[in-house]
Amino acid sequence: MNFYKTLDLIMRQDIGGRGLLPSLPASPLAETVAALSGAKRAVLLTGFPVRLADGSFIGETDGPSGTAAAAAALNGIGCHTAVVTDSASYPLLKEALRWMAPQTSLVLLPKNDTAAFIRNFLSDFRPTHFISLERPGKAADGHYHNMRGEIIDDMIADSSPFLSEAKKLGAVTISIGDGGNEMGMGAFYRQITANVPCGAEICACESADIALASGVSNWWGWGLASLLSVETGRFLLPSEEKETELLRRVVDAGGVDGCTRERTMTVDHLALDIHLSVLCAVTELTKRTMGETIPEPFLFITCTGHAGRRLSSPPLLSYALPEPKQ
């Protein structure tokens, strides 16, 4: 089993039972790494708001961590990066970047005159790459939706012009999501409408040049870091300890789980240990592919669901890692 196929399998474990991933074609990872390896200036967009019981709203824990990991990896190959988000997620990203990617600029997306702001910002920054990760995408009805089909326009700055404006400037556009309502996921319209609850209503209508789906959007932050590590020979992934502290800082800044709406050390109702098992899998795959020695036997992952229940769709239980890259 080769590196790309194994990485894609790790990323696309449907632990949360969303239903989308089994229907999708293989991710275009050779195309992705070819595009990313030449990145000079990258804009990363994230931030998904969650309405709380008292009517207020704040950003969720899926998005900041993955974006920070991707930004740090891009910084590691000499790419200048800027992360853009709106007010609901700004404090979360401030802490995430301070901890993981301090070289990255953080830009606040205004609620008013957003289209003009986006055009001017992109014109000044001149990105070679635009990456959205767990950012709501506008559906065919002209509204933004959460996974329950609820309209969330009042909680979000209209960031929809980013894709088209970035393409006009010649930037490669990459979008990452896990449920189909994220920016750029229009590439999977047929699969989303057929397999995701409320899919026809919530599916984002625009498509990125490259669309990547995973069990949790954050995971592709590690996935991109893995691709760049193997391509450049520089190990760019965070440690489990650094990732744990990152999530703690995001939660301390107000971040909530997007499914439970609670301030806990979870992402998409999945315990931290589950996410760390995925990071461990990506790390060991990356090191093996880069030629580093890891203990035999090949990686073995197990995890349980909430309250000790076995997950109906657990992570890969065992697989052979590819031979080291020559």
Alpha-helix residue ranges (DSSP H) falling in the chain: 3-11, 29-36, 64-76, 90-100, 114-125, 161-168, 189-195, 199-202, 219-232, 240-252, 272-289
Give me the pLDDT at residue 298, please: 41
Q: Is residue 323 part of a domain?
A: no
Q: What average pLDDT does this structure show over 147-163?
A: 97
Encode pLDDT of 274-290 as tens digits: 999 999 999 999 999 99
For 44, list phi and psi in degrees, rounded to 5.
Answer: -115, 130
Q: Which residues share a beta bridge with 45?
A: 84, 132
Give me the pLDDT at residue 297, please: 40
The residue to which tokens 């890259």 are assigned: 325
Q: Is residue 320 part of a domain?
A: no
Give me the pLDDT at residue 301, please: 44
How far is Cα 30 from Cα 135, in angstroms, rounded to an integer? 24
Q: Is residue 113 part of a domain?
A: yes
Encode pLDDT of 199-239 as tens digits: 999 999 999 999 999 999 999 999 999 999 999 999 999 99
Give me the pLDDT at residue 18, please: 81
Give me the pLDDT at residue 75, please: 98
Structural tokens at position 8: 């894609």
Q: Is residue 230 part of a domain?
A: yes
How far is Cα 301 from Cα 317, in angstroms, rounded to an integer? 5
Q: What average pLDDT does this structure show over 186-208?
A: 96
In which band, very low, low, confident or very high, does the pLDDT at 317 lie, cut at 50, 70 and 90? very low
Encode pLDDT of 240-261 as tens digits: 999 999 999 999 999 999 999 9
Q: Which residues share a beta bridge with 151?
A: 145
In which band, very low, low, confident or very high, does the pLDDT at 293 lie, cut at 50, 70 and 90? low
pLDDT at 167 over 80: yes
Give me the pLDDT at residue 209, please: 98
Do residues 122 and 166 lie in contact, with contact meaning Cβ atoms separated by under 8 Å? yes
Predicted TM-score (pTM) of the model is 0.91
Residue 130 CA: distances (Å) to CA of 70, 207, 326: 12, 13, 31
Q: What average pLDDT does this structure show over 170-194?
A: 97
Structural tokens at position 154: 């009042």
CATH of the domain at 199: 3.90.1640.20
Give me the pLDDT at residue 1, please: 58
Q: What average pLDDT does this structure show over 296-304?
A: 40
Q: Is residue 177 part of a domain?
A: yes
DSSP 199: H
pLDDT at 160 over 70: yes
Do residues 247 and 65 lie in contact, with contact meaning Cβ atoms separated by under 8 Å? yes
- Percent over 90 (pLDDT), the chain: 87
Q: What average pLDDT does this structure show over 192-205?
A: 96
Domain count across the chain: 1
SS3 state at 23? helix
Preceding peptide of 295 cis, ω within 30°: no
Structural tokens at position 185: 């996921």
Q: Is residue 55 part of a domain?
A: yes
How far is Cα 71 from Cα 222, in angstroms, rounded to an integer? 10
Do residues 282 and 294 lie in contact, with contact meaning Cβ atoms separated by under 8 Å? no
Q: What average pLDDT does this structure show over 13-40?
A: 94
Domain span at residue 228 reads 3-308
Q: Is residue 325 part of a domain?
A: no
pLDDT at 87 over 60: yes
Q: Is residue 143 part of a domain?
A: yes
In which band, very low, low, confident or very high, does the pLDDT at 318 lie, cut at 50, 70 and 90? very low
